[in-house]
Amino acid sequence: MQFPGGMKEALKQVKRMQELMEQKQQELANLRVEATSGGGMVKVVANGREEIVDIELAREVVNPDEIEMLEDLILAAIKEAQAKSKELAQREMAGLMSQLGLPNIPGLGF
């Protein structure tokens, strides 16, 4: 197999791509998305790596007699935050792939 510019140039390009991917992953860790449920009474914040970084509950939603409802609201907000985070990461990685002149292949685990 022949590499334009030789093997040394191909390895340089791979190293550069790895550096850009690592940089993008760090950027994603610093980006935030928010999701709410219960009319805004439960708010969940995730970073661009699908990690939950904050949960806020309005006082009025905390009722010991309605724990199941609160659990459902929290779970709904978490799922929405994770979906938004995944969408954000896919958009960001697609931009990186385009910048590198590579095809964007969904599902590569970014």
Range of the domain at 86: 6-100
Inside any domain, residue 19:
yes
**pLDDT score for 110:** 45
**pLDDT score for 8:** 84
* pLDDT per residue of the chain (110 residues) written in tens, 0 to 9: 555 667 888 788 888 888 888 998 999 999 999 999 999 999 999 999 999 999 999 999 999 999 999 999 999 999 999 999 999 999 988 888 777 777 666 655 44
Inside any domain, residue 108:
no
Facing residues of 34 across strands? Answer: 45
- Compute the CA torsion angle 56, 59, 64, 67 (nearest 10 deg): -40
Please count the structural domains in the chain. 1
Inside any domain, residue 106:
no
Inside any domain, residue 43:
yes
Inside any domain, residue 109:
no
**pLDDT score for 21:** 87
Q: What is the CATH number of the domain that holds 50?
A: 3.30.1310.10
